[in-house]
Amino acid sequence: MQIYLPIAEMSVNIFLILGLGGGVGFLSGLFGVGGGFLITPLLIFYGIPPAVSVATAANQIVASSVSGVFAHWRRGNVDLKMGLVLLAGGIAGSTIGVWVFAWLRSLGQIDLVISLCYVIFLGIIGGMMLIEASRAIFRTRRRGGSFRRTKKHQHSFVHGLPLKMRFYRSGLYISALLPLLVGFFVGLLTALMGVGGGFVMVPAMIYILGMPTSVVIGTSLFQIIFVTANVTFLQSIQTQTVDVALAILLLIGGVIGAQFGAQFGSRLKAEHLRAMLGLLVLSVCLKLLFDLVITPTELYSIAPENL
């Protein structure tokens, strides 16, 4: 059954989009990730214009983050103060990001920048995950049990920065500049790539800010809601590329898929999950890289001038 998307201005197979949302939802439930980094490339592979894919994915991530944040909020796993500081950076980053997005679009380079961002970030994150997970699997086999190396209160350049702030929930006393910068950078990625940025935010919170892992997911989800909402709002104003119909279809599929994914995931080992996710991320990265490198069959592309 076909449905005509009002903003993308094309007709798509309704079940295919539902299935796509469901599939990514399943994976995000399985691995505990937002899935924005999969939704956007898959929409682009399907033929949805990149600009619409990015803006609409941001809208869909608002919903998936909202549904995820409640559980963490109830358990007190959201560092509100840290979230707000990250958010301040995120709002600035995403606002500039939307503006950069519109500028690149007018130059005809937005598709390239989106693809390059994906190749770089998916390559780094996927590679790191795979290495880390395979080490963990190897260790478990050898020693017959898993363990974590944790370094508490490690001192680095981080502690020399000005504007220090106390974050009670995270038990941190660090410069506010750091979360501001992390938030800014991730906000930029949200606008350019149509991702929540959890896959950058979470490692940055653990390794750069030194936050305890218990509050990382909840706090990251909390600030992602507002950053993606900001991107949705600004893209609506600036480029009119948010397709509500597409977002709703993805949402329905995603919500249902995530429930199955979470149930299925509880039966698998964490390091196996991470290894699988790493492989998945790397294969999306390779597909995008491949498309950039091979000689295209059509060397010319066309677009209306006013876009």
Q: Enumerate binding residues for another protein (CB under 8 A).
A: 2-7, 9-11, 59-60, 62-68, 70-71, 108-109, 111-112, 116, 225, 229, 232-237, 240, 242, 244-245, 247-248, 251, 255, 259, 292-293, 295-296, 298-306
C-alpha 80, offset from chain centre: 20
Q: Which is nearer to another protein, 2 or 283 (CB)?
A: 2
Per the CB < 8 A criterion, the answer to whether 208 and 158 are in contact is yes
CB of 281 to another protein, least distance (A): 20
CB of 151 to another protein, least distance (A): 35
User: In the block, which residue shows the tokens 């410069």?
Assistant: 175
Structure tokens at 259: 């429930």
Q: Which is nearer to another protein, 83 or 179 (CB)?
A: 83
SS3 156: coil
Structure tokens at 171: 């038990």
SS3 83: helix
CB of 271 to another protein, least distance (A): 27
Q: Which is nearer to another protein, 160 or 302 (CB)?
A: 302
Q: Which is nearer to another protein, 12 or 130 (CB)?
A: 12
Q: Which is nearer to another protein, 74 or 166 (CB)?
A: 74
Per the CB < 8 A criterion, the answer to whether 25 and 33 are in contact is no
CB of 252 to another protein, least distance (A): 8
CB of 76 to another protein, least distance (A): 16
CB of 86 to another protein, least distance (A): 19
Q: Which is nearer to another protein, 248 or 282 (CB)?
A: 248
What DSSP string describes 190-238?
HHHH----HHHHHHIIIIII---HHHHHHHHHHHHHHHHHHHHHHHHHH
CB of 164 to another protein, least distance (A): 34
Question: Which of the 8 DSSP states describes residue 281?
Answer: H
Q: Which is nearer to another protein, 211 or 229 (CB)?
A: 229
Per the CB < 8 A criterion, the answer to whether 187 and 223 are in contact is no
CB of 158 to another protein, least distance (A): 34
Question: Which residues have CB under 8 Å from 212's CB, separation 6+?
Answer: 170, 171
Q: Which is nearer to another protein, 207 or 300 (CB)?
A: 300
Question: Which of the 8 DSSP states describes residue 163?
Answer: S
Computed over its alpha carbons, how large is the radius of gyration of the chain? 20
Question: Which residues have CB under 8 Å from 59's CB, separation 6+?
Answer: 228, 232, 242, 244, 247
Buried b (16+ CB within 10 A) or exposed e, 150-166: eeeeeeeeeeeeeeeee
Per the CB < 8 A criterion, the answer to whether 285 and 115 are in contact is no
